[in-house]
Homo-oligomer: A and B are copies of this chain.
Amino acid sequence: MIVDQNDKVRTDQWKIAPHVLELESSAIREILKISSQPGVISFAGGLPAPELFPLEDLKEAMASAIAKYGPDCVQYSLSMGITPLREMVARRATEAGAKTEIGNILITSGAQQAIELVARAFIDPGDYILTEYPTYIGALQAFDYYRARYTTVEMDAEGMIIEQVEEKLKKHKPKLIYTVSNFQNPTGITMTVPRRKALIELAMKHNVPIIDDNPYSDIRFSGERLPTLKSIGGDVVIAIRTFSKIIAPGLRLGWMNGPAEIMNYFEKVKQCMDLHTNTLCQYIVYEYITAGKLEPHIEKLRSDYKIKRDLMIRTMRETFPDGIKWTEPEGGLFLWIELPTHMSAKDLLPKAIELKVAYVHGQPFFPDRQGLNTLRLNFSNATHEGIVEGIKRLARLFKENM
């Protein structure tokens, strides 16, 4: 059988045409495979620092959950998520400035499932989505699956250039605005408050909902914490959040915060997809937070990631040749590099791998597959020595190819 243009597998028993399988293979997946080889210093993935995972506290949280809730910890549970965790998430969101009730919260199997639910609920083939340029590749993959088209808005240091937004809203009437407003993946850029307000006004005026994919806002090292799009925009915004970056990604626990009637709809879709998010990890995270472990852990992440970011930027300043620009984010996991326009980060990647250092080139983050001279660096996952050594190798590579 083959896979047709609607992505349906055609029987002739099970054969799928090889060109289809290849087509679907993601550039990033290949890079991550290579970069996980032993001896390679990887700035490629979006992996949290493994040395900071609170393993003992999670073990204690499991023991505590089992002692308190017994068999409920591993029994079937509600598609919306377990009630105590939803209540806790709603309370925390309210305290952070976005009035939220339990009905607004749907627990998902990671933020990616939230993006998938949004894509599935809203996108008909050919629909436009307005995104930043560049934008998060995992969202593009989910949207691509539903045959979305993109209308994109460039960013400066303050986030989306608002003048472009209204023009694109008028021209393409997108179904959704998708943004990573805090420490954006891939660029590290954060949208300023005036831009947030302006974006929400436009969304309301043109009746287009905003999806704010927000995994990183808690990991701010410097500068002031900003009100979220959700806290400013209310029901015009669905916020997608996750415990992946503040506790651990392998728990696959995210959540959505949006209008209750939309969450009720997603609940039914989620029930078809996987019945519910795994119960055990929900109880573990609930107990972990109840025990007061999360806030000090986030503080630790902030200070450790700041040291890593500072070290990366200092080494770049000391070693990178002139003509290379980069962002200096106040939080998150990534920074973004622009090489001179005649250079291709994509073509240099195999040479970097030869030098045993890996990054993700920027092209796959651009819906139109431009940005050949850009690349993304992750600073959370490598060790201090790895950061210094890896950046030095990249500096050498770039110098030799200027």
Contact = CB atoms under 8 A, between A and B. Distances in A.
19 contacts: A3-B265, A8-B121, A13-B209, A13-B236, A15-B261, A45-B76, A46-B76, A53-B71, A53-B75, A58-B280, A74-B248, A74-B251, A75-B250, A113-B274, A116-B272, A142-B273, A252-B275, A252-B277, A280-B281
A272 B115 CA distance: 9
A246 interface: no
Given A11-B175, A73-B55, A16 B272 contact: no
A231 interface: no
Interface residues of A, number: 89
B62 A74 contact: no
Contacts of A6: 124
Given A108-B274, A145-B269, 10 more contacts: A9-B262, A14-B262, A16-B264, A29-B271, A50-B71, A53-B74, A55-B66, A74-B251, A77-B250, A253-B278
Interface in A254-283: 258-259, 261-262, 264-265, 268-269, 271-281
A66 B284 CA distance: 15
Interface string A25-42: 110010000000000000
Interface of A: 3, 6-9, 11-16, 20-21, 24-26, 29, 45-48, 50-51, 53, 55-56, 58-59, 62-63, 66, 70-77, 108-110, 112-113, 116, 120-124, 138, 141-142, 145, 175-176, 207-209, 235-236, 244, 247-253, 258-259, 261-262, 264-265, 268-269, 271-281, 284
A83 to B, nearest CB: 12
Given A9-B262, A13-B209, A274 B50 contact: no
Contacts of A66: 55-56, 58-59
A42 to B, nearest CB: 12
Q: Which 6 A-B pairs have the closest CB atoms?
A: A250-B279, A50-B71, A74-B248, A74-B250, A252-B278, A113-B274
A210 to B, nearest CB: 10
Nearest to A77: B250
Contacts of A272: 112, 116, 141-142, 145
Nearest to A143: B272
A113 B71 contact: no
Contacts of A271: 26, 29, 141
Assembly stoichiometry (copies): 2
B71 A13 contact: no
B280 A251 contact: yes
Contact of A250 (B45, B76, B176, B235): B76
Contacts of A249: 74-76, 279
A390 to B, nearest CB: 19
